[in-house]
Amino acid sequence: MVAIPMKTPETARVELHDELPSTTVEELAPLYRQMLAIRRLEEASAKAYSQGKIGGFLHLIIGQEAVCTGAIAALRPDDYVVATYREHGHAYAKGVPARPILAELYGKKTGLVRGLGGSMHLFDKATNFLGGYGIVGGHVPIAAGAAFASKYRGDGRVTLCFFGEGASTIGGFAEGLSLAALWKLPIVLICENNQYSMGTPLYRSLAVEDVSLRALAHGMPRDRFDGDDVIKVKRRIAEAVERARETGEPTLVEVITYRFRGHSMSDPGLYRTKDEVEEWRRRDPLNRCRARLVEVGMDEAALTALEDDVKAEIEDAVRFAEDSPAADDYLSYVEKV
């Protein structure tokens, strides 16, 4: 276990551990492929941004791929996902192809939301991806609302709601958590704790650095673990999803992770040391995943083939985005007629 620089109150009943669950090539290879595709997608976005082809805010998830990939792997296709503005990976993991994601970042007509949302607002009805939201914590009640609808209708769906540890200090999070617990809504609230609320480290934003402890006040089950291993993430989230689906009980899950890049493209990252970033890079979940695949029996040739396939997919998506026509309609979706 790698020491994570944070203090955990004695009252925590969960602990960080590195005992890895067993897996197979069949289970792991698709997840590795997804993580790698997300990584390549983010890298392609960063490149296009630096070329001026993508504008506005661009929040990359590089380093955190195992969390969204593992968590969403625990869902059924009809389950809902609600995410933040750092959501390209979540959308991809939920099943949205790379082409419309990149085209959206490019502001093209073929973009996932027709060039109206951009990087922060990916939505996809077909895969039940309920969107990326730009107001921190404001989407937590919305996710609770989707879960409310599932309970209202008895459709057995579960909603995953992703947010950063920075959201745990705002009212929307508190009220969403409170109502989800009160009404026993089928939701899993996943705090992707990447340890920096933009540029503010945990110890400067939280009196108690264990976000999962908030569940205790609402009588809500909680979990807390590190998010380097995609299978571990999948297993632990699956427990929470199962609980939500079977008993309607929500769970607050905190996953410790680390983003390798700045908060957004305009963030020089002066609030953390190069050594710290290097330390986390050595634990790159992508490398760990590849190593495990070799461990469980995937040969190098198959891995290379998979990696070439991913490369081709993202290159195709970039071409698609580049060649697509510019967005041209900003009037048709203001009011539903």
Partner 1 sequence: MPVISYREALNQAMREEMEHDPNVFIMGEEVGHYNGAYKVTQGLLQRFSERRVVDTPIAEMGFAGIGVGAAMVGLRPIIEFMTFNFSLVAIDQIINNAAKIYQMSGGQFHVPIVFRGPSGPAVQVSSQHSQSFESFYAHVPGLKVVMPSTAYDAKGLLKSAIRDDNPVVFMEGETLYGMTGEVPAEEYTLPLGKGDVKRAGTHVTLVAWSRMVHTCLDAAKVLAADGIEAEVVDPRTLRPLDTELIVTSVKKTGRCVIVEVGWPMAGFGAEVAYRVQRGCLDHLDAPIERVTSDDVPMPYAKNLEDEVQPQVKDVVAAVRRTLYLD
* Positions in the binding site for partner 1 (CB under 8 A): 80, 82, 111-117, 121, 123-125, 130-131, 133-135, 138-150, 152-153, 171-172, 175-176, 178-179, 182, 332-336
Rounded Cα–Cα distance for residues 298 and 195 (Å): 33
> CB 175 → partner 1: shortest distance, Å?
3
> CB 126 → partner 1: shortest distance, Å?
8
**Residue number with CB closer to partner 1 (61 or 179):** 179
b/e 13-37 (16+ beta carbons within 10 angstroms → b): ebeeeeeeeebebeebbebbbbbbb
The DSSP code sequence of 247-299 is: H---EEEEEE---SS-SSTT---TTS-HHHHHHHHHT-HHHHHHHHHHHTT--
**Residue number with CB closer to partner 1 (151 or 236):** 151
Give, as one character, the DSSP assignment of residue 116: S
- Give the Cα-Cα-Cα angle 330, 331, 337 (nearest 5 degrees): 140
b/e 50-83 (16+ beta carbons within 10 angstroms → b): eeebbeebbbbbbbbbbbbbbbbbbbeeebbbbb
**Residue number with CB closer to partner 1 (85 or 260):** 85
Rounded Cα–Cα distance for residues 179 and 200 (Å): 28
> CB 158 → partner 1: shortest distance, Å?
13
**Residue number with CB closer to partner 1 (41 or 142):** 142
**Residue number with CB closer to partner 1 (89 or 115):** 115
> CB 336 → partner 1: shortest distance, Å?
4
Rounded Cα–Cα distance for residues 287 and 36 (Å): 10
Rounded Cα–Cα distance for residues 291 and 285 (Å): 10
> CB 259 → partner 1: shortest distance, Å?
24
> CB 181 → partner 1: shortest distance, Å?
11
**Residue number with CB closer to partner 1 (82 or 298):** 82
Bridge partners, residue 192, by sequence: 164, 255
**Residue number with CB closer to partner 1 (135 or 291):** 135
Amino acid at 200: T
> CB 176 → partner 1: shortest distance, Å?
6
